[in-house]
Structure 1
Amino acid sequence: MTGVRFEETTAVITGIGAGLPEQVLDNAAVIEAGRLRTTDEWIRTRTGIVHRRRVAPGISTGDLAVAAGRAAISSDGGSAPDLLVLATSTPDQPCPATAPYVAHRLGLGTVPAFDVGAVCSGFLYALATATALLHSGLCRAPLVVGADTYSSIVDPTDRDTAALFGDGAGAVLLRPGRIDAPGAVLAAALGADGSGHQLIAVPGGGSRQPMHLPQVDPKATTFRMQGREVYAHAVRRMVASAREALDRAGWPAETVEAFIGHQANQRILDAVAQRLGIGPEHRFGNIRDVGNTAAASIPLVMADPTTQRALTPGRRTLLTAFGGGLTWASVALNWPATVPRTRPPSPEFDLTPLSSTDLLRSHAWTPSASTSSPS
């Protein structure tokens, strides 16, 4: 694991934006659509999720990223970004990267733009990367976006994953500032362990199992996760990276005033906070309302009205995440002094909104009678 502390000057968050689809699905709609052998109570108690957002047909990750990026730029109110980093594991297409087209649609001209593929740790990887690039002098106003449409890769008949994920995007705009400023990024810790690459994966569709060749598994291009193993790794890795980030920032864990973890599972978030000694009154999240939005989850919590009302600028804030790869990351920062903006995504052409009863019809999968029952 690698960590860094930024001295004297650093990147300061001056804008925050969110892009959320308008369609809201409750647990009952997801259960009915996938004919899942589970219950609303089981999903709530095991994950903490009640609702999630879902994109309409034709709305892509790039559309969500554009909405969040525009909102963050509006929140900042200053000059245009001069670099764009997009964290996603559901790009608009395998090639090219989605970030350049997002930058084009935002009217940013020929600024550098690239994707970061660290799955659910992607936003913090991107935030640390943009902060380092700003610190080096390569840019002065990087825009960092986390965006994912997991509805495009999740099998709605898979009881283990169908109810977990929602679609969304969040973004922050950074500018140079002092380390004591509200929004200042103070320290970061990043890590990865490729020996666990199979625990969170979409095995098909890449160069190892190309789409044009017959797939050994007919569902190889859908998302798969080994939940029990992931839980153990997630808690251990997030705690370790959080402690390193706090050590580099010079903050005792008991002084953290805002804890925001990747919104994967409420039990994971509670376990990490408990091990760090951070009380419930300092934990913030929105998993109940939007589910697991992958790379978008942390900036969406930062943009959430409940979080904004509870925190004042300068509060000691700890961000931490774990994702496929395996990857993990933590960032220590001062809570920003900015008012977030939210925009709904829109495609470049009109489409009919997707209803919950059309979920299965928009995928190639068919319900399976062999799905397991709640346990």
Structure 2
Amino acid sequence: MVAVLRSVIRGVGAHLPKRIVSNEDLSKIVDTSDAWIQERSGIVNRHIADETEKTSDLGAAAAKQALVRAGIDPIDIDLIVCATATPDRTFPATAVRIQSMLGVTKGAAFDVQAVCSGFVYGLTIADNFLKTGQSKRALVIGAETFSRILDWSDRSTCVLFGDGAGAVVLEAQPQHGTRNDRGILATRLRSDGRYEDLLYVDGGAGSTKTVGHLRMNGREVFRHAIQKISGVIEETLVETGYAADEIDLFIPHQANKRILDGIAKKLGVAPEKIVMTLHKHGNTSAASIPLALNEAFEAHRVKEGSLILMEAMGGGFTWGAVLARW
């Protein structure tokens, strides 16, 4: 079999702000309760960045841990992709700031804005750079400070989100070109701008000249999520010839427990294969998948050879899936 280049995951890392805000804490500032939040989302706690913590700080900390675990020096990284909807500044890219913080001086660094799907988009973009030989080692980071764009008087949204960051180190390695290879085996990305007004931020430098706040039609987002995510997962599995019951770990975007349960049921994924962290972290947007992957790694749930399915849907709508072997 002719060798091909695959993007192999060499290391994973994560970072969460120290401050933890519980449902009980939120009930003191908005008309809600622990029972109400848990029933509708499955969330119990979330981490909130303090005034001194920027998105780049969270992302750099996660990246450093991933690099240490990978045994790779930052100077050997030649691509940094940061998925974020809450950048430090309008420009430069948060990825460039992280690049400087890590001491990386070669290659390219840029942000990807696909909201909650950002990490899946980032993995797909980095994979294309690596498997074509344009880059050798990449950092893909999901980092968010969503607390900065929440309307803390809107109980339907402010209870759902949190801050955090996760990262993986990818390295191009020759493989046999079969579905049993290590690394990223298949990716699928989708978007449909007709649904923009169902999940968005009501501000922007090019429109209102303000940052704005997150707005969401939760009922409609829920309805679209199960259908669209299930569809893109099925496409990804068909490409590789795998069945859903062959997946070792299902690592979804941590948006809502009811959505995760609905997708797993529709696909026939066993509950014990689902990595669920939203009760601890809330919805951390682009950071949620790498945070969940990191938790699975630290719990020894992911091992060499594990077949991992990652998926997400975010504002836009954007959605996608990545199938990889650890």
Which among 146, 153, 158 is matched to residue 150 of structure 1?
A: 146
1:347 aligned partner: none
CA distance in 1, matches of 2:128, 2:137: 12
Question: Structure 1 228/253 Cα, relative in aligned 2: closer, same or farther at 3 Å?
Answer: same
2:38 corresponds in structure 1 to 44
**1:117 counterpart residue number:** 113
- 2:198 matches 1:202: no
Is the contact made by 2:251 and 2:311 (CA closer than 8 Å) also made in structure 1?
Answer: yes
Whether contact under 8 Å (2:13, 2:63) holds in the other structure is yes
Q: What is the Cα deviation at residue 294 of structure 1?
A: 0.3
Q: 2:156 aligns to what SS in structure 1? A: coil
Q: 1:105 to 1:311 in 2, by over 3 A?
A: closer
8 A contact 2:5–2:130 mirrored in 1: no
Q: Distance in 1 between matches of 2:16 and 2:318?
A: 25
TM-score of the pair, normalised by structure 1: 0.82
**Does residue 29 of the first structure (1) align with residue 28 of the second (2)?**
no
In structure 2, distance between residues paired with 1:265 and 1:106: 33
CA contact (8 A) 2:296 2:302 kept: no
**Aligned positions, number:** 318
Matches of 1:186 and 1:278, distance apart in 2: 19
CA distance in 1, matches of 2:67, 2:181: 19
Query: Deviations for 1:341-370, whole angstroms, at most 9, x for unmatched residues?
Result: xxxxxxxxxxxxxxxxxxxxxxxxxxxxxx
Q: For the residues of structure 1 that align with 2:15 and 2:93, how far apart are their CA atoms?
A: 20
Name whichever structure is richer in helix by fraction: 2
Point out where structure 2 has 5 or more consecutive residues left out of the alignment: none
Q: Tell me the distance in 2 between the aligned counterparts of 1:47 and 1:22.
A: 22
Question: Where does residue 70 of structure 1 map in the other structure?
Answer: 64
2:85 is the counterpart of 1:89: yes
2:94 paired residue among 95, 98, 105: 98
1:279-310 Cα offsets, whole Å, 9 max, x none, are 11111110111110100000000101576323
> Deviation of residue 199 (structure 1)?
1.1
The one-letter code of the counterpart of 1:163 is V
Q: Is this contact kept in 1: 2:247–2:308, CA < 8 A?
A: yes
| Cα deviation code 1:221-243 (max 9, x no counterpart) | 11111100100111111101111
Give the distance between the partners of 1:126 and 1:114, measured in 2 at CA. Answer: 10
1:94 shift after superposition: 1.2
Q: What is the distance in 2 between the residues matched to 1:98 and 1:78? A: 22
Q: Aligned match of 1:329 in 302, 315, 320?
A: 320
**Cross-structure match for 1:233:** 224
Give the Å deviation of 1:330: 0.3
The percent of aligned pairs where both chains have the same amino acid is 40
- Structure 1 runs, 4 residues or longer, greater than 3 Å off: 179-182, 305-308
| Maintained 8 Å contact 1:284/1:307 | no
Aligned equivalent of 2:250, options 241, 259, 273: 259
Higher relative contact order (CA 8 A, sep 6+): 1
Point out where structure 1 has 5 or more consecutive residues left out of the alignment. 1-6, 212-219, 337-375
Superposition pairs for residues 348-359 of structure 1, below 5 Å? none
How far apart in 2 are the matches of 1:147 and 1:271? 26
SS at match of 2:91: coil
| Greater gyration radius | 1
Look up the equivalent residue of 1:246 and give its one-letter code.
L
How many Å separate the matches in 2 of 1:31 and 1:75? 39
Residues 316/306 of structure 1: CA separation in 2 closer, same or farther (3 Å cut): closer
Residue 203 of structure 1, CA deviation: 1.9
The residue correspondences of 1:302-313 to structure 2 (distance < 5 A) are: 302-304=293-295, 308-313=299-304
* Aligned-CA RMSD value: 1.5
Measured in 2, the distance between the counterparts of 1:76 and 1:251 equals 28
Give the SS at the match of 1:284: coil
**1:12 and 1:181 in contact (8 A); partners too:** no
CA contact (8 A) 1:302 1:308 kept: no
8 A contact 1:301–1:307 mirrored in 2: no
